[in-house]
């Protein structure tokens, strides 16, 4: 998709346009033009020159291996249902995925709803995968992915019909800024019993998950849905991929990892909470 006029230059804030070669985005900033190359994978890095961050190559690889098996399809389908039923998203709509990771959820929504989509993530490995996967799925005309922080989205004000935000930082003021009046924000977090059996297999004592601490305070909450389902994993690799997608991966003892790696199969509850907000019409 040609993101001209939607995407802003991260240096001067002027609109970025695809140049004639189609290989870079350029602005006409006051006195100076800034240029951002489109990578071979089809995405653009809008924080080049500064240290990037976000998920590592290994983390993205594990997440992708897990998501591509559609273990979390019920979450993706619930987001799509909300976009269609509550957000009235159709072929002419624009959906922004803030913290899109490997693009699993946005690409799924674009395929089903026929809308256009822009995905942003701090991890160039994730964004590279998202853009390539969109290209493989014939979604290049409908999508555009960029490396950017969600705290400062390089987007024009009031350009999006919906913003989706799954398991990534929620920045209410910024998402509200880019939404059109009446647009919807869908925030997804882990439910209290998410991956309960996985945690039970690794820890002696299991705590329930807290509600996301960064939910919007000012936008109107119009709906809350919970998706409950079961995930069945049949190989140690799948189990480790899932575990490495969780925050526990980074704070588990050697003994915990030993228990994890002894598992050959696992069935666990999965639970996601979806919060739907609407930007007021003023
Ligand atoms: C748990 S993953 C979720 C990815 C995707 N939404 C999903 O559910 O598969 C969190 C993502 O947020 C990204 N992230 C973390 N901080 C960010 C920031 N400040 N701006 C943009 N992305 C960020 C990470 O790189 C990672 O891809």
| pLDDT band, very low/low/confident/very high, at 52 (cuts 50, 70, 90) | low
Dist. CA 260 → ligand 1 center (Å): 24
- Ligand 1 pocket by C-beta < 6 Å: which residues? 54-55, 63, 99-101, 104, 121-123, 126, 149-151, 166-169
| pLDDT band, very low/low/confident/very high, at 20 (cuts 50, 70, 90) | confident
Q: Which residues contact 159 (CB under 8 A, 6 or more apart)?
A: 6, 94, 178, 180
CA distance 200 to 211: 19
The predicted model gives 254-263 an average pLDDT of 93
| pLDDT band, very low/low/confident/very high, at 121 (cuts 50, 70, 90) | very high
Dihedral sign of CA atoms 274, 163, 79, 67 in order: negative
What pLDDT score does 51 carry? 55
| pLDDT band, very low/low/confident/very high, at 49 (cuts 50, 70, 90) | low
Give the chain's mean pLDDT: 94
| pLDDT band, very low/low/confident/very high, at 31 (cuts 50, 70, 90) | confident
pLDDT at residue 146 tops 80 = yes
Dist. CA 223 → ligand 1 center (Å): 23
Dist. CA 175 → ligand 1 center (Å): 15
Whether residue 46 contacts residue 10, with contact meaning beta carbons closer than 8 Å, is answered with yes
The predicted model gives 78-95 an average pLDDT of 97
What pLDDT score does 281 carry? 80
Backbone φ/ψ region at 158: left (φ over 0), alpha (ψ -120 to 50), beta: left
The predicted model gives 20-36 an average pLDDT of 86
Reference 214, options 248, 165, 253; nearest CA is 165
Backbone φ/ψ region at 64: left (φ over 0), alpha (ψ -120 to 50), beta: alpha
pLDDT at residue 244 tops 70 = yes
What pLDDT score does 22 carry? 82
Protein residue closest via CA to atom 18 of ligand 1: 149
Could you tell which of 51, 77, 101 is best to mutate to test the pocket of ligand 1, judged by most ligand atoms within 8 Å of the CB?
101
Q: Which residues contact 212 (CB under 8 A, 6 or more apart)?
A: 170, 187, 189, 190, 273
Rounded CA Rg of the chain: 19
pLDDT at residue 201 tops 60 = yes
| pLDDT band, very low/low/confident/very high, at 113 (cuts 50, 70, 90) | very high
Task: Tell me the percentage of the chain whose pLDDT exceeds 70.
Answer: 98
């Amino acid at each position: 998709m040609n993101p001209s006029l939607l995407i802003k230059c991260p240096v001067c804030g002027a609109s970025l346009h695809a140049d004639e070669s189609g290989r870079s985005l350029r602005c006409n900033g006051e006195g100076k033009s800034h240029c951002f190359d489109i990578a071979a994978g089809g995405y653009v890095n809008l924080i080049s020159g500064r240290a990037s961050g976000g998920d590592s190559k290994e983390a993205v690889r594990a997440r992708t291996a897990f998501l591509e098996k559609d273990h979390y399809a019920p979450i993706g389908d619930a987001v799509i249902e909300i976009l269609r039923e509550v957000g009235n998203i159709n072929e002419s709509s624009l959906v922004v995925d803030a913290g899109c990771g490997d693009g699993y959820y946005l690409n799924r929504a674009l395929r089903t709803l026929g809308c256009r989509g822009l995905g942003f993530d701090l991890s160039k490995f994730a964004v590279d995968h998202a853009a390539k996967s969109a290209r493989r799925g014939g979604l290049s005309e409908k999508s555009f992915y960029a490396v950017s922080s969600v705290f400062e989205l390089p987007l024009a004000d009031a350009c999006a019909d919906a913003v989706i935000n799954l398991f990534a930082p929620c920045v209410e003021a910024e998402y509200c800024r880019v939404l059109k009046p009446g647009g919807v924000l869908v925030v997804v977090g882990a439910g209290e019993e998410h991956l309960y059996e996985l945690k039970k297999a690794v820890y002696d004592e299991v705590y329930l998950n807290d509600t996301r601490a960064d939910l919007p305070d000012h936008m109107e909450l119009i709906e809350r849905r919970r998706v409950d389902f079961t995930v069945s994993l049949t190989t140690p690799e799948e189990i480790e991929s899932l575990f490495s997608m969780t925050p526990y991966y980074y704070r588990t003892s050697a003994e915990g990892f030993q228990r994890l790696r002894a598992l050959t199969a696992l069935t666990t509850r999965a639970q996601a909470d979806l919060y739907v907000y609407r930007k007021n019409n003023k």
